[in-house]
Chain A
Amino acid sequence: MINDIKTLFNNSSDLIIKKIKEYTVLYLESLCSSDKINEYILKDIAINNTVTMGPNTKEITKKNIATFLNNGFAIVLSKKIYAIEVKAILDRGINKPEVEISINGPKDALEENIQINLGLIKKRIRSEKLVNVDYTLGKYANTKVSVLYVSGIAKKELVKDVSSKLNNINIDSIKDALVLKKILESNKNTIFPLINTSERPDVISDYLLEGKIAILIDNSPTALIIPSFFVDYINPVTDMYMLSVNVNVLKILRMICLFITLLTPAIYISLINYNQETLQLKILINFTNQRNGVPFPASVEAIIMLIICAILKESDLRFPSSYGSATSILGALIIGEAAVAAGISSPIMIIVIAISFITSLIFNDIEFTNSLRFLRFAFLLSATFLGLYGILIAFLFFILHISSLSLFNYSYVTPLSPFDKVYLENTLIDIKTTKKTKRSKLLSNNIIKKRDHK
């Protein structure tokens, strides 16, 4: 039998086989804790010459040996076959959020262990109504996926849709939540992320209580939120930790930033190449002055600068943080100082690109900022060929595109179309917490939030 197991695991080096007296102990060294093996198995056999049956010990059959070995159990072979749980703790502990940083609010984030992640959410919703349904995905990886929703709040149709989608997934392995996200979004041709992600258990629990569904995946510190809308990327849930009035100012600022980041380079190009009459004479002379000596047409100059900025952003993201500041300084020097001095770019172009770039950083979802970057180029190209008319055409395309998007039968432009006042009050604007007494009809049939006082 031992030879069969060895063959099954292709003589894997971490498969340890120990023979003590009439017992043979097998385990995968990479998944098991040697302390636990010593304590619960080896000591027991050496002293008592027996395997103590307890809550972590199971008697199994020969065909289950591989499954138990792969899940952090040690197998003890004698007359019978026992599986004893001796899993090693293979996680990095609960850390601070790294992407969804918020000054206020809780500071814990999800990690790679799905049980800990579940615990972090369950300690925020202490109710038997919080349901988690487990799935095993991946033919070889057998990754545990857990779908969370609050029974009585989340719509049953949505739960059913998500469940059938997960059941239809046929793939070797799912390494991360973002891989599952890609699979679920795969039949949509779009640059926009259709499923929101979160690493914050407080945010996830808030979404669950609104009637959304969260998907947790083992070995992934990210949860998927279904359904997600365009406004969710502009207005994060962490806004709830701030005063309504201040948040509303911030929300207006974010909307302005969205348009600035998309349109600034395009509007600048169309104004200086097509619609010069709209600029005041003094500004026009100033711009002309600054562009003197730049060898490229303004649109080429804008594209070059945008590409340099995109490269800088990528290198800054990929580099370890200790090198990150070096690339920033180098980039700032090259773009800000040397490019102007060398006559490759005009100072006004630096300002335009910098404004466009900085305003995009207000949004913390990397997929969303990447889609904004794509759109920025699209608007710029339309402005290069057709001026303000081109921007208008591109903008209509943009509106048409996002209006046509939907996932799990939820329109991407909710709550504007279909109009939903309650969701609007939770996202696009912020009303006082005491007035948030209802859930969106689109997300839940149980729309009253208040607890009954009898």
Chain B
Amino acid sequence: MKKIIILILFIIPLCGCDFEELNNLGIVTGLYINYEAGNYETYVEIINDKVNEYKVLPASYIYEGEGKTLDESINNIRNKINKDLYFNHLELLILNYNVLYNDINVINDYLLRSPLISNHIVTLLTNSDISKIASSQSKNNNVTSSFIISLIKSNKKINTLIPSDDYDFKIAELKSKKFTSIGSIEMGSENIYLDNTLIINDHEILLKLNNEDSIIYNSLINKSPITITLDGIELKAKLNSIEFDKDISAKYSLEVISNTKYDLDDVNSLNKITILFNEKMKLNIKNFIKKLQSNNIDLFSLKEKISSYKDYDFNIEVNSKITKKGELVS
């Protein structure tokens, strides 16, 4: 009995006292930050956990806070609500370009210092008015952050923008001053829309990729499947492996989506399709790499291997194999 009492006395101070009643939590799902004239403007999106039978209550509330530091601005928000801000389910962080120009690591440091914060946060940059983005969905009774996350998920299918939700990894990239990519979102005349990927390095936006480049980028970096239309045939291609050295060699597996021209039971036709695909991909990758080289962007850490990176002419090799022909109707 004595041992048990001693054990209990030791257990209680050794554990973290982070008891929190569920209804006292203000569940933050979106954090929108602007930096203007030495001031942080922060907007937090808190889920409304009360519903009535007519569902007329808003899905979320946006609270605004200002301050010289991020902490001060968030504390100002804390003064406005009767709940504890709970960041463990934070899923979206949108930063204005100004935050990046000032120092994005200030935000990261603040967010990562607390263990009570999610590390799966999708980070996006914007050049639009951040308050408008934050409240863009309130009239539709949607949660803005969830709306944007679902936009990104559906966008994955067309491969123009895949922001990483591994926040720690992204921050590590930013801190090490590597070239990194980040998604962007803008406010149109009425609606928000996902813009193309930005390549950034050391507080600077170096390049905004166009649609085609974004597709190649996502294929090479994230191995996302891409859709390519060739002469009378549409293919879905997935990168199996890629090797970056003095030469670049990529291997793809192909799936036929539609075909009006080729006999897919004929070996020669299959060879012809793969050759066409290889040539097309080779050209796309070459153009993409050239673009990066001209902007002196080393996304694939090739500068360590090649001293004259900017002018180097890469030999690109693409191999492919048709793995699925689809159901053939004779």
> Using an 8 Å CB-CB cutoff, how does the interface string of A295-321 with B read, 1 for contact, 0 for none?
001100000000000000000000000
Chain A residues contacting B152 (CB-CB under 8 Å) are: none
Q: Within the assembled complex, what's the spacing in Å between the Cα atoms of A289 and B55? A: 13
Produce 1/0 per residue, A140-177, CB < 8 A to B.
00000000000000000000000000000000000000
Contacts of B88 in A (CB 8 A): 276-277
Report yes or no: A288 in contact with B22, Cβ–Cβ below 8 A.
Answer: yes
**Which B residue sits closest to A390, measured CB to CB?**
B15
Whether A276 contacts B86 by the Cβ 8 Å rule is yes
Please indicate the chain A residues that have their CB under 8 angstroms from the CB of B25 in the complex: 276, 288
Which A residues are in CB contact (< 8 Å) with B116? 277
Contacts of B22 in A (CB 8 A): 272-273, 276, 284, 287-288, 291, 298
- Determine the main DSSP class of B at the interface with A: loop
* Interface membership of chain B positions 41-59, coded 1 if the CB is closer than 8 angstroms to chain A and 0 otherwise: 0000001011100000000
Q: Which of B11, B20, B50 contacts A276 (CB 8 A)?
A: B20
Tell me whether B12 is interfacial, beta carbon within 8 Å.
yes
What number of A residues sit within 8 Å (CB to CB) of B? 21
Are the C-beta atoms of A273 and B20 separated by less than 8 Å?
A: yes
Report chain A residues within 8 Å CB of B29: 281
User: Does B327 make an interface contact (CB < 8 A)?
Assistant: no
Chain B residues with CB under 8 Å of A276's CB are 20, 22, 25, 86, 88-89
CA distance A73 to B50 in the complex (A): 79
Give Cα distance in the complex from A70 to B224, angstroms: 92
Cβ contact of B27, chosen from A273, A285, A385, cutoff 8 A: A285
Let me know if A393 is at the binding interface, CB within 8 A. Answer: yes
A24: min CB distance to chain B, Å: 63
Please report whether the interface of chain A is mostly helix, strand, loop or mixed according to DSSP: helix
Those of B77-111 within 8 Å (CB) of chain A: 86, 88-89, 91
Q: How far is the CA of A393 from the CA of B91 in the complex (A)?
A: 32
**How distant is the Cα of A298 from the Cα of B24 in the complex, in angstroms?**
12
Nearest Cβ distance between residue A11 and chain B, in whole angstroms? 52
- B21 at interface, CB cutoff 8 A: yes
Whether A273 pairs with B47 at a CB distance below 8 angstroms is: no
A386 within 8 A of B: yes
Contacts of A274 in B (CB 8 A): 18-20
Across-interface contacts of B154 in A (CB, < 8 A): none
Q: Is A292 on the interface with B (CB-CB < 8 A)? A: yes
The answer to the question of B128 belonging to the interface, with a C-beta cut-off of 8 Å to chain A, is: no
CA distance A389 to B10 in the complex (A): 13
Contacts of B86 in A (CB 8 A): 276
Question: A289's contact among B20, B49, B118, by CB below 8 Å, is which?
Answer: B49
Contact status B23-A291, CB under 8 Å:
yes
With A276-B86, A281-B89, A281-B91 already in contact, the answer to whether A393 and B20 are too (CB < 8 A) is: no
Which residues in A have their C-beta under 8 angstroms from that of B47? 281, 285
The interface residues of chain B lying within 8 Å CB-to-CB of A285 are: 27, 47, 49
Closest to A393 in B: B11
Indicate if the CB atoms of B12 and A281 lie closer than 8 Å.
Answer: no
CA distance A385 to B18 in the complex (A): 10
Q: Which residue of B lies closest to A287 (CB)?
A: B22
The residues of B that contact A288 with a CB separation of less than 8 Å are 22-23, 25, 27, 49
CA distance A301 to B88 in the complex (A): 25
Q: Mark A254-298, 1 if CB is under 8 A from B, else 0.
A: 000000000000000000111011000100110111011000011
Q: Which residues of A contact B18 (CB under 8 A)?
A: 274, 387
Q: What residues on B are CB-neighbors of A289 within 8 Å?
A: 49-51
Interface contact A292-B15, CB-CB below 8 Å: no
Nearest CB on A from B69, distance (A): 25
- Which of A273, A277, A291, A393 is the one whose CB lies under 8 Å from B19? A273
- Chain B residues near A291: list those with CB within 8 A: 22-23
With CB as the reference atom, state the residue of chain A lying closest to B49.
A288
A273 contacts which chain B residues (CB < 8 A)?
A: 19-22
How many angstroms from the CA of A309 to the CA of B22 in the assembled complex? 24
- In the complex, what residue of chain A is closest to B115 when comparing beta carbons? A277
Q: Which residue of B lies closest to A277 (CB)?
A: B88
Per the 8 Å Cβ criterion, residues 365-400 of A in contact with B are 385-387, 389-390, 393
0/1 string, B253-276, CB within 8 A of A gives 1: 000000000000000000000000
Can you sample 27 A-B contacts with CB below 8 Å?
A: A272-B22, A274-B18, A274-B19, A274-B20, A276-B25, A276-B88, A276-B89, A277-B118, A281-B27, A281-B47, A281-B91, A284-B22, A285-B27, A287-B22, A288-B23, A288-B25, A289-B51, A292-B23, A292-B50, A298-B22, A386-B12, A386-B15, A387-B15, A387-B18, A389-B15, A390-B11, A393-B11
**Interfacial residues, chain A to chain B (CB-CB below 8 A):** 272-274, 276-277, 281, 284-285, 287-289, 291-292, 297-298, 385-387, 389-390, 393
What would 8 more interface pairs be, CB under 8 Å, given A274-B19, A281-B47, A284-B22? A273-B20, A276-B86, A277-B88, A277-B116, A277-B118, A281-B89, A288-B22, A288-B27
Enumerate the 6 nearest inter-chain pairs by beta-carbon distance, A residue then B residue, closest first. Answer: A277-B88, A288-B49, A272-B22, A281-B89, A386-B15, A288-B22
